Structure 1
Amino acid sequence: MAEETGTTLTRPGTDVWSNLSLLIDGQLTEGRGDRIDVIDPATEEVVASVGAADKAQAALAVASARAAFETGPWASASPAERGALITRIADGIEKRRDEFVNTIVTELGAPISATGPLQVDWPIKHLREYAQAALAERGEVLGRHTDPAPSQSVVEYRPVGVVAAIAAYNYPVLLLVHKLGAALAAGCTVVAIPSPRTPLSTLLLAEVLRDADVPAGVVNVVVGEADIARAVTENPGVDKIAFTGSVAVGEQVMRQAAAGVRGVVLELGGKSPAILLPGTDLVSVVPGVHQRYSRNGGQACAAPTRILVHESQWDEFLEISRKAYESIPVGDPWDSTTIVGPMITEAHRDRVEQYIQEAVNGGAVIAAGGGRPHTESGWYVNPALVINVKNTDRICQEEIFGPVATAMPYSTVDEAVQIANQSKYGLHAYLFGPDSVAAREIAPRLRAGTVSVNGGGGLRADAPMGGFGVSGVGREIGSWGIHEYMEPQHIQWACD
């Protein structure tokens, strides 16, 4: 039997999720709200039915988090105790790694070839980084001041309070960990809400939290549709809202947070450019770029979906791209050779196709890929490279969240930078060129929260993630992420 990093490649029976429950005030609790059917996007079959929280349970989760923040063991927990708790959570996920992999492949349709490393191992690594970061001394000594009288000052950092953490469906555990780990390291308590499309892995995490002896109320997990998320975010007991998802919903979250003047951390997606500078070795670069935006079915916020190619290499780029597309298998996520699995829902698959069709109707051309694969079931769409477009076209400006990229030629680097910045998003940008030093000199000209040069690296657990423009507010990951859940407190006193 084939294996991926120790994970057995078998589609589990649906009974493995039959006992998953909410976590409220330290107790695993059956949801009293409507049932949510979880559908495997590869088979279109219902694999689990989850009891959502009702509004009373949502209110209880917030009240429990409030009480745990203000009283009890968590209110007085030391940085070492916080770090130890986060470590236990990481250990619990690692111990049940196979279950998390199998669950995410099933509920998301993410290919198993990448699910373990990206969807499970990254959260474990990031939690361990948060555990260490919890120990850091964050106070600052300002020193002596003499106007109008002698005084001394320090700045300390205090936890903001109760955090509502809402994760998107595409990386259900990782996106929640970015919020959960940082908030716990800061000393906050959390009400976690997964996407109703992918709740199973988060409910599995609820069991890990219980087994890790998380004090009652410190982390609560509730599931529901938009009404339950709203019941939490609009609750005055919540001090800060952290959300990953679409711009439209992010705007709603900001409006909800305005009541009570509460803070937000928002990661709202991107339309990332990839500039192939003149002289780039296209043979070595282009296949990786295409696989990068096709990975996870293109359901990734930092995907390089606007490719800019110097006009002198345009024909070569197209030839290499067509060959590269032959090496991007689409199909069963349980097949270890698959790179592109299904879209999360039928409606989302149709939406992706509508973007392509609208562009073609306007004169665009599909240079590689397109259409659907021949499968008996599943919401699949083949990757597509679309050319003969203008950067102002909708397909170039809106986040499609599917395995679709546009490509445009440019004549000068200045023009490429201008096109790259002509976007309401600013999450990530990619630069490829024969000289990394020269490429790095272009990075400050790009309005993007992260710039990756010649491939960059992985998703570091000690580097900030976030963006300019509508890509969001604030930053996640690393010390920047922890500071989002802390408030500076200035303490001053008179002295001789």
Structure 2
Amino acid sequence: MTTLGDRMLVDGELVAAGRGRTFDNVNPATEEVLGAVPEADAADLERAIGAARRAFDTTGWSTDVELRRRCLVQLRDALRAEVETLRSGYVAETGCPVSQTPGVAIEESIGYLDHYIGLLDTYEWEHTLPTKSVMGRPADRIIRREAAGVVGAITPWNYPLYLGICKVGAALAAGCTVVLKPAPDTPWSSLALGALAAEHTDIPAGVLNVVTTSDNGVAQLLATHADIDAVTLTGSTATGRKVMGAAADTIKRVTLELGGKSAAVFLDDPLLELVVPALAGAVCIHSGQGCTQLTRMLVPRARLDDVVDMAKGAMEQVKWGDPTDPENVMGPVINAAQRDKVLRYYELAARDGRVVLGGKPTDRFERGYFVEPTLITDVDPKAPVAQDEIFGPALVVLPFDDEEDALRIADGTMYGLSAAVFSVDQDRAMAMARRFRTGTVSVNGAQWFDVESPFGGYKQSGLGREWGTEGLEDFLEVKTIAVPPAG
């Protein structure tokens, strides 16, 4: 298999780990070793952080907007030129079905770089407030936005190329330098990003660094190191707590995009037959390994049995198995630990409620980390399967008695990432959308996921925002300069 990355990017050079150590990249569909990946130690990460610090402090990267724009265009074009190589490696290391890769997994995410390229043409880096007497003296005040500094970017395994582009694109556009540390389960996508940046762009040495390690102790340096000014993490809420705590001693800027347990609320009957089957099937996309997937379905109590039957019929039709088969929309989960975690939740579902479909280990394949699409009902809204982010192909259907009950259940988790509401009365749906304690809401199927829309969560789903203008500004500091008025 042809891939673009078996070396790290440190200070402008594609290198092995300093001590020559490696770890295995494993195919979750076959359990075969795909290749060896550099196993960085603390000294390797120190070199990358030092390179990023020097590049920020001694080059013009943070102030040369035109250079940054040119380099992002070059990176986008290089990614597009290698899209088929990226696709084969991506499917192999993530288990994501090839049918899903033209979307946000690969092609769309490459195109998302255009958002930051466009912002660099139009963004107002400073502006002046009207002249005003301040403490008895006239003053003009310049409000200036400047790069935050060195960014430690930590990405998970579910959508590795998209998340690498998301974080690297925003930080580089803002004028920051970056050390990117991908999940050890899916290193190739980030190593490819580093290789293409090194070989096909004018990004100065040290501005972008990509370091791979399976050692969480090494990775923790990104949250504790004094030369890192900001940390951006996408991951579980548990990991987010650890990163936020580790960053506290040096008061780093922290952007966290964390877990979700998102609810789809149906306020009345007419849309059920149109929407329920599609939403039930969508829970299985990429084996449910998406933080915004609508994994709870809230329906009027009188229609619970009908909705369960509709969802069961849809989930039974989901095609799953070999991710290289374009007919399949669901492959394996990422690794054995995740498979076992999902199966434990299936056991809890059988204990606390009713498993309508799936819920068991599968003997459909001799190898691979596969789990069954699973439908759960008759469970208390406070039960673990209705509260926790399972990150597997599991849908929980819950009844409600009235709108206030629906809102209590929908908002009744520690998460606040996303939600959806459906009603033939759009004003009624909008009224509920405004009340959800979530960062994003879909009304009657309208899609919010777009590069111009800020994305992030309330409560323990995170801090800060990605995409939109807000995604750029999360990597900017704000400076106020007061000067005497001219003349």
TM-score bracket for this pair, using the shorter chain length: over 0.9
2:27 and 2:43 mapped to 1: Cα distance? 30
The one of 220, 243, 249 aligned to 2:239 = 249
What aligned pairs does 1:197-276 form with structure 2 within 5 A after superposition?
A: 197-210=185-198, 211-225=200-214, 226-276=216-266
Shift of 1:118: 2.0
1:245 and 1:32 mapped to 2: Cα distance? 27
Tell me what 2:104 maps to.
118
- Report the number of matched residues: 480
1:370 matches 2:356: no
Shift of 1:206: 1.2
1:179-204 deviation per Cα after TM superposition (whole angstroms, max 9, x unaligned): 11111111100001100010011111
Tell me what 1:37 maps to.
24
1:56 matches 2:40: no
SS at 2:283 equivalent = helix
Unmatched 5+ residue regions in structure 2? none
1:408 and 1:469 mapped to 2: Cα distance? 22
SS at 1:41 equivalent = coil
2:439 and 2:125 mapped to 1: Cα distance? 24
Shift of 1:373: 5.6
Tell me what 1:180 maps to.
168
Shift of 1:247: 1.4
The amino acid of 2:182's aligned partner reads: P
What aligned pairs does 1:5-404 form with structure 2 within 5 A after superposition?
A: 13=1, 16-17=2-3, 20-32=6-18, 34-77=21-64, 79-135=65-121, 136-148=123-135, 149-210=137-198, 211-225=200-214, 226-362=216-352, 364-371=353-360, 372=362, 374-404=364-394
The amino acid of 2:23's aligned partner reads: I
Shift of 1:17: 4.0
1:419 matches 2:405: no
Give runs of ≥4 in structure 1 deviating > 3 Å. none
1:129-176 deviation per Cα after TM superposition (whole angstroms, max 9, x unaligned): 111112311423221221321111120101000000111100101112
The one of 426, 430, 441 aligned to 1:440 = 430
Q: Tell whether the 8 Å contact from 1:143 to 1:154 is kept in structure 2 after alignment.
A: no
2:447 and 2:427 mapped to 1: Cα distance? 16
1:407 and 1:450 mapped to 2: Cα distance? 21
| TM-score for the superposition, normalised by structure 2 | 0.96
2:63 and 2:443 mapped to 1: Cα distance? 44
1:472 and 1:89 mapped to 2: Cα distance? 29
Shift of 1:53: 1.5
The one of 450, 453, 459 aligned to 1:463 = 453
The amino acid of 2:478's aligned partner reads: P
Q: Tell whether the 8 Å contact from 1:18 to 1:48 is kept in structure 2 after alignment.
A: no
Of all paired residues, the percent bearing the same amino acid is 35
1:405-441 deviation per Cα after TM superposition (whole angstroms, max 9, x unaligned): 2111111111101110111000000112223333122
SS at 1:429 equivalent = strand
The amino acid of 2:77's aligned partner reads: D
1:16-61 deviation per Cα after TM superposition (whole angstroms, max 9, x unaligned): 3496200001110011354211110100111111122221111111
Tell me what 2:441 maps to.
451
The amino acid of 1:121's aligned partner reads: E
2:323 and 2:95 mapped to 1: Cα distance? 6
2:435 and 2:147 mapped to 1: Cα distance? 35
1:225-276 deviation per Cα after TM superposition (whole angstroms, max 9, x unaligned): 2122112332211100001111111111112211211110001110101101
The amino acid of 2:177's aligned partner reads: T
Q: Tell whether the 8 Å contact from 1:464 to 1:476 is kept in structure 2 after alignment.
A: yes
The amino acid of 1:390's aligned partner reads: D
Q: Tell whether the 8 Å contact from 1:321 to 1:368 is kept in structure 2 after alignment.
A: no
Shift of 1:492: 0.8
Q: Tell whether the 8 Å contact from 1:373 to 1:381 is kept in structure 2 after alignment.
A: no
1:358-403 deviation per Cα after TM superposition (whole angstroms, max 9, x unaligned): 12123x1112333326112111111111011111111111111111
SS at 2:14 equivalent = strand
Cα RMSD between the aligned structures?
A: 1.5
Shift of 1:126: 1.4
1:94-128 deviation per Cα after TM superposition (whole angstroms, max 9, x unaligned): 11111111111100100011022221122212111
Shift of 1:457: 1.7
1:241 and 1:43 mapped to 2: Cα distance? 34
Q: Tell whether the 8 Å contact from 1:40 to 1:109 is kept in structure 2 after alignment.
A: yes
Unmatched 5+ residue regions in structure 1? 1-12
1:287-312 deviation per Cα after TM superposition (whole angstroms, max 9, x unaligned): 22112221111111001111101123
SS at 2:129 equivalent = strand
2:62 and 2:170 mapped to 1: Cα distance? 16
The amino acid of 1:253's aligned partner reads: V
The amino acid of 1:255's aligned partner reads: G
| TM-score for the superposition, normalised by structure 1 | 0.94
1:326 and 1:397 mapped to 2: Cα distance? 24
The amino acid of 1:170's aligned partner reads: N
The amino acid of 1:151's aligned partner reads: A
Q: Tell whether the 8 Å contact from 2:296 to 2:386 is kept in structure 1 after alignment.
A: yes
Shift of 1:75: 3.9
